[in-house]
Amino acid sequence: MSCHFKSYITTPIYYVNDIAHIGHAYTTIIADSLARYARLIGQETFFLTGTDEHGQKIEESAKLRGKEPQAYADEISATFKNLWDDFDISYDKFIRTTDKDHKIGVQKAFTTMHKRGDIYKDKYKGHYCISCETFFPKTQLVDDEFCPECGKSTSIVEEESYFFRLSAYQDKLLAWYENNPDCILPKSKRNEVIRFVEGGLEDLSITRTSFDWGVKLPDDFNDSKHVMYVWLDALMNYVTALGYGTDDKNMDFWPARVQLIGKDILRFHAIYWPAFLMSLDLPLPKHIGAHGWWTRNGEKMSKSKGNVVNPREVADAYGLENFRYFMLREVPFGGDGDFSQKALIDRINSDLGNDLGNLLNRLIGMSGKYFDGRVESDKVANHYQAELNEVNESLAKLEPMLFELQIHRYLEELWRPLSVANKAIDKYQPWTMMKEDRIEETMALNGLIATILAKVSIMLHAIMPKTTQNIAMALGFEINPESFVKLIRNDEILETFIIEKIPPLFPRVEEELIVEIKPEKVEKATVKKESKKEDKNEGVALIGIDQFFQTSLKIGTVVGAEEVSKSKKLLLLQVDIGEDKPRQVVAGIKEWYSAQDILNTQVCVVANLQPAKLMGMKSEGMLLAAKDADGLCLIRPEKPKTTGTSIS
């Protein structure tokens, strides 16, 4: 039995500037599986997830959509929560950084760090990437301008700021990594972090004055223009969720057993977070687990390519639990993984269908035919001790693997008992044994298979909760902490039962169930379920209204226009869409409009496109236009409308 009696498991809190995709689902499903496993083995468990709602990025996303940040955060946070609820994610708390208690906790942390002498005020000048909410030294920028992490343009920010004395924690951090070889998993990631910290740590700017949307400093600082740096705010969620700074109600769950993150945010969790905790005199987490990156068909997922995997779509098409199994089995934790329907279908048909589902079907078939469904396991050891030994050996290896985050190996090892069972049927040939009247041996073989299926179901339960409960039901028991102790810990056998026929668990998948929307052929893509007979829609991907509303369309007034001399096609426009300053838009319309034609006219602007660069000029929007054989015309409001009005 493990020595931790309380297991606290966390996911990152996800930004509300985007809806959930397969990457978010991956982290959350791993965490859910660990939490379910911890509960099954009888540990008191607390599983936390939630949303990260402050910062400039969120403020700007809200503004682009013409919404107040709080209203916008409410809306997107709910989409995450709904998805996790629909996915049956067993979180104990869903935290939002806009929760009052969280804000109080962050302020308390700030005060504590300050009292300890870890916070001081100074000036900061640096290159800031809004998308990553991070300052980068000039030496790390790409072409002196672009963010080394996400490639977007950075801007120079000079502000008065409070600083956290990160530099003072360099040695303590190195000692922590040194003395706790498993503190960062996989170990290769720990080595990366050590190298980074050995390179030297600068103090960290932890407040901002250039925007408002964040946790204010505590009142006694009397410094209302500062808000907390979003990463200080966000990281603190892991303890404010337990009551830090308010009622301390669940603080006995701290330190966390496992904090799951993607490799993109390792630096924040493996360097800043432990330093903050040390400053607060709180213990450090047992494991920080950084997983790799999901791509789709070998390509990075991005909205502009239109290849982002929507977890709901996959779960609807292939089954939620099959999808869970696939993600956890397919990729070694820490490595990058590729999502393809082919790989998913292979896992369903082969691992789940052939190895597991068919085994149950074979058992239902044999016990029905020979024994009216009765299965007795009490003579198994008399006839199949070698098989039992092999199974027990495999099961014994499993225990530490999950919490060491060797999840794909755990599943691989868990399939060995299934293979023992399948091989035993082929080897002992129950149909021959029955002909030879070897009834006890045949019954014991069925008992062996049932026992193996029962044990495997228990150990697979955390990953496929409903499916395994169905298997258990067919085998006349229920998966719970008691049956775990009986069948796994104490190696007991299944009591005699009458097998129940259940519908096939993993019907064979014959073809891809989601029609790929190829990025460059969006207009030609079809959606299988909906493409039926509506001629007008044939060949066009149907989208839901919520997808349509993800596009922010605005009435803009062109307040500046000039021709780009080196280009036959481009005009450089300044378009007012009701924001502080006009947007620069580079439009390919010069063949049909002169600068003068378009100046002081109204246009329709797509306002939430990723900025792009055209001939070295930044373009922060796109104009709506229609083009046919006669040429191109701009789409404009029929009557003048207030600049910045949303189009819907």
Q: Is 57 in the site for ligand ME8 (CB under 6 A)?
A: no
Instruction: Tell the smallest beta-carbon distance from residue 29 to ligand ME8 (Å).
Output: 11
Instruction: Say whether 129 sits in a helix, a strand or coil.
Output: strand
Nearer to ligand ME8 among residue 133 and residue 413 (C-beta): 133
> What are phi and psi for residue 630, nearest 5 degrees?
-80, -10
Nearer to ligand ME8 among residue 192 and residue 355 (C-beta): 192
Q: Is 146 in the site for ligand ME8 (CB under 6 A)?
A: no
Stretch that binds ligand ME8, among 19-27, 244-252, 391-399, 485-493 (CB under 6 A): 19-27
Nearer to ligand ME8 among residue 18 and residue 182 (C-beta): 18
Q: What is the helix (H) or strand (E) element at residue 113, kind and residue range? A: helix 100-115
Nearer to ligand ME8 among residue 32 and residue 413 (C-beta): 32
Query: Interior CA angle at 5 toward 394 and 169, to 5°?
Result: 105
Task: Specify which residues 51 forms β-bridges with.
Answer: 14, 96
Instruction: Say whether 61 sits in a helix, a strand or coil.
Output: helix
Rounded to whole angstroms, the Cα distance separating 351 from 342 reads 14
Q: Is 272 in the site for ligand ME8 (CB under 6 A)?
A: no
Q: Which residue has the tokens 């409410």?
A: 74
Q: Are 61 and 17 in contact (CB under 8 A)?
A: yes
For residues 300 to 339, the per-residue mask of contacts with ligand ME8, x marking binding by CB under 6 A and - elsewhere, is -x--------------------------------------
Instruction: Tell the smallest beta-carbon distance from residue 179 to ligand ME8 (Å).
Output: 24
Q: Are strands 184-185 and 287-291 parallel, antiparallel or unpaired?
A: parallel
Q: Are 376 and 443 in contact (CB under 8 A)?
A: yes
Residue closest to ligand ME8, measured at CB: 23
Nearer to ligand ME8 among residue 293 and residue 415 (C-beta): 293
| Rg of the chain, C-alpha, whole Å | 29
Instruction: Tell the smallest beta-carbon distance from residue 263 to ligand ME8 (Å).
Output: 7
Instruction: Tell the smallest beta-carbon distance from residue 79 to ligand ME8 (Å).
Output: 12
Q: Is the dihedral of CA 30, 36, 42, 45 positive or negative?
A: positive
Q: Is 264 in the site for ligand ME8 (CB under 6 A)?
A: yes
126 class by beta-carbon count within 10 Å (0-12 exposed, 13-18 middle, 19+ buried): middle
Stretch that binds ligand ME8, among 56-64, 99-107, 230-238, 562-570 (CB under 6 A): 230-238
Q: What is the helix (H) or strand (E) element at residue 123, kind and residue range? A: strand 119-129
Nearer to ligand ME8 among residue 28 and residue 45 (C-beta): 28
- Binding positions for ligand ME8, 283-302, rule CB under 6 A: 293-294, 301
> Which of 38, 130, 234, 472 is close enough to bind ligand ME8 by CB under 6 A?
234
Q: Is 47 in the site for ligand ME8 (CB under 6 A)?
A: no
Q: Which residue has the tokens 């509303």?
A: 549
Q: Is 235 in the site for ligand ME8 (CB under 6 A)?
A: yes
Count of residues in contact with ligand ME8, rule CB under 6 A: 19
> Which of 33, 41, 52, 244 is close enough to bind ligand ME8 by CB under 6 A?
52
Q: Which two tokens stand for residue 56?
A: 């400039």
Nearer to ligand ME8 among residue 12 and residue 214 (C-beta): 12
Q: Of 161, 144, 151, 110, give the one whose Cα is nearest residue 130.
A: 151
Nearer to ligand ME8 among residue 237 and residue 457 (C-beta): 237
Q: Which two tokens stand for residue 82?
A: 């709904």
The neighbour count for residue 52, using CB atoms within 10 Å, is 26
Q: Is 95 in the site for ligand ME8 (CB under 6 A)?
A: no
Nearer to ligand ME8 among residue 234 and residue 454 (C-beta): 234
Rounded to whole angstroms, the Cα distance separating 602 from 556 reads 6
The amino acid occupying position 36 is R
> Which of 141, 265, 514, 515 is close enough to bind ligand ME8 by CB under 6 A?
265
The amino acid occupying position 4 is H
State the DSSP string of 15-58: ETTS---HHHHHHHHHHHHHHHHHHHTT-EEEEEEEEE--SHHH
Q: Is 27 in the site for ligand ME8 (CB under 6 A)?
A: yes
> Which of 7, 8, 19, 23 is close enough to bind ligand ME8 by CB under 6 A?
23
> Which of 8, 9, 14, 205 is close enough to bind ligand ME8 by CB under 6 A?
14
Please give the DSSP secondary-structure letter assigned to residue 215: P
> Which of 262, 274, 319, 588 is close enough to bind ligand ME8 by CB under 6 A?
262
Nearer to ligand ME8 among residue 84 and residue 428 (C-beta): 84
For residues 487 to 526, the per-residue mask of contacts with ligand ME8, x marking binding by CB under 6 A and - elsewhere, is ----------------------------------------
Rounded to whole angstroms, the Cα distance separating 506 from 358 reads 9
Rounded to whole angstroms, the Cα distance separating 7 from 254 reads 9
Rounded to whole angstroms, the Cα distance separating 264 from 149 reads 8
Q: Are 187 and 194 in contact (CB under 8 A)?
A: no
Stretch that binds ligand ME8, among 6-14, 154-162, 373-381, 485-493 (CB under 6 A): 6-14
Q: Is 177 in the site for ligand ME8 (CB under 6 A)?
A: no
Which residues of this chain interact with ligand ME8, rule CB under 6 A? 12-15, 23-24, 26-27, 52, 234-235, 237, 261-262, 264-265, 293-294, 301
